[in-house]
């Protein structure tokens, strides 16, 4: 079974975070670390985007459109393949039950106020807001991003590839580690100068350090349009080293997707 959608206005907010501040990922995953100023740093992103016209190919008239926030960490799996670890997926409350039932993804509800990049521009600046027991509020405009906090990942193209070129993703749902196989189409990427004015939602979802506060941004960019196909057919199970999971369970299943974020 396949679900098709068009991902619009995908804002990547990227952070470098001290590796010791993060929980251990489930085996066989390991964070992709960079050394900087005498300590190891890992990377995290909040992706804010819209799903446009999610539908089954055989039922093209039945379509859903909704905003989403995905919080993810960057790792390598047991094969050494670059991947992402999905920490949280936030969606409107009305769509969450359907996504949990069909895609078996770990989703929670939130309230969203997203701009339409093609029209909602005030002096060239856009504003996003996501709220649930805290807020993530960010403004951004097209232009060269400022030099961020943390280790460099090379030039601009290398930085974008580090965050986007991830052929696999992993999520833990109902005590099972699930794998998502992905492909990455060539799409337009806009560099943006972004400012996070409230990160209390991130501090609640994934607290860092003593007060849970997040550091300033490492980098940010926008992909205005990404074609996306979910292939929900089961693929061979993920083999875990030692069977260790963050929740007590031994069995795993996985599913595949194409044209991932």
Name the residue among 26, 160, 161, 221 with its Cα closest to residue 106.
26
Looking at the DSSP bridge assignments, the partners of residue 181 are: 168, 256
Give per-residue pLDDT as tens, 107-126: 789 999 999 886 666 567 99
Is the confidence at residue 245, as pLDDT, over 70?
Answer: no
Query: Residue 126: phi, psi to the nearest 5?
Result: -110, 160
Question: pLDDT at position 173, please?
Answer: 74
Mean pLDDT lowest for which of 48-62, 180-194, 203-217?
48-62
Sign of CA dihedral 34, 38, 40, 46: negative
Compute the distance between CA of residue 87 and CA of residue 92 in angstroms, rounded to an integer. 17
* Burial class for 143, CB neighbours closer than 10 Å (0-12, 13-18, 19+): exposed
Q: If we measure between CA atoms, which residue out of 244, 148, 150, 195 comes closest to residue 11? A: 195
pLDDT reading at 183 higher than 80: no
% residues pLDDT > 70 (the chain): 74
Q: Is the pLDDT of residue 63 over 60?
A: no
Whether residue 246 has pLDDT greater than 80: no
Domain 2-258 has CATH 2.40.400: yes
Between 103 and 7, residue with greater pLDDT:
7
Please, which pLDDT band fits residue 51 given cuts at 50, 70 and 90?
Answer: confident
E-assigned strand segments in 2-38: 2-18, 30-31, 34-36
Can you give the pLDDT at residue 122?
A: 58
What's the first-to-final CA gap in the chain, in angstroms? 20
Q: What is the mean pLDDT of residues 222-235?
A: 66
Q: Which residue has the tokens 């369970």?
A: 249
CA angle, 220 as apex, 164 and 182 as ends, to 5°?
Answer: 15
* DSSP structure class, residue 19: G
Contact 176, 250 (CB under 8 A): no
**Pairwise CA distance, residues 172 & 258, whole Å:** 20
Sign of the four-CA dihedral 219, 145, 197, 66: negative
- Copy the structure tokens of residue 199: 């990160």
E-state strands within 92-244: 107-109, 111-113, 125-131, 135-142, 168-173, 176-181, 190-198, 219-235
């Amino acid at each position: 079974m396949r679900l098709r959608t068009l991902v619009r206005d995908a804002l990547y907010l990227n952070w470098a975070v001290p590796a010791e501040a993060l929980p251990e990922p489930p085996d066989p995953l390991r964070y992709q670390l960079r050394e900087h100023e005498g300590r190891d740093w890992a990377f995290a992103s909040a992706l804010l985007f819209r799903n446009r016209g999610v539908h089954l190919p055989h039922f093209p008239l039945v379509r859903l459109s909704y905003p989403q926030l995905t919080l993810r960490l960057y790792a390598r799996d047991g094969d050494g393949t670059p991947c992402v670890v999905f920490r949280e997926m936030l969606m409107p409350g009305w769509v969450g039950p359907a996504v949990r039932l069909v895609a078996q993804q770990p989703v929670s509800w939130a309230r969203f106020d997203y701009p339409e990049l093609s029209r909602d521009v005030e002096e060239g600046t856009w504003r996003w807001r996501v709220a649930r027991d805290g807020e993530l509020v960010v403004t951004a405009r097209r232009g060269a991003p400022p030099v961020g906090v943390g280790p460099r990942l090379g030039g601009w193209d290398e930085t974008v590839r580090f965050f986007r070129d991830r052929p696999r993703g992993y999520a833990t749902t109902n005590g099972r580690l699930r794998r998502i196989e992905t492909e990455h189409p060539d799409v337009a990427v806009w560099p943006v100068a972004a400012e996070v004015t409230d990160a209390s939602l991130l501090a609640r979802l994934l607290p860092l350090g003593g007060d849970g506060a997040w550091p300033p941004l490492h980098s940010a960019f926008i992909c205005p349009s990404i074609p996306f196909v979910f292939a929900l057919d089961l693929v061979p199970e993920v083999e875990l080293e030692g069977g260790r999971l963050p929740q007590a369970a031994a069995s795993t299943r996985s599913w595949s997707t194409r044209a991932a974020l």
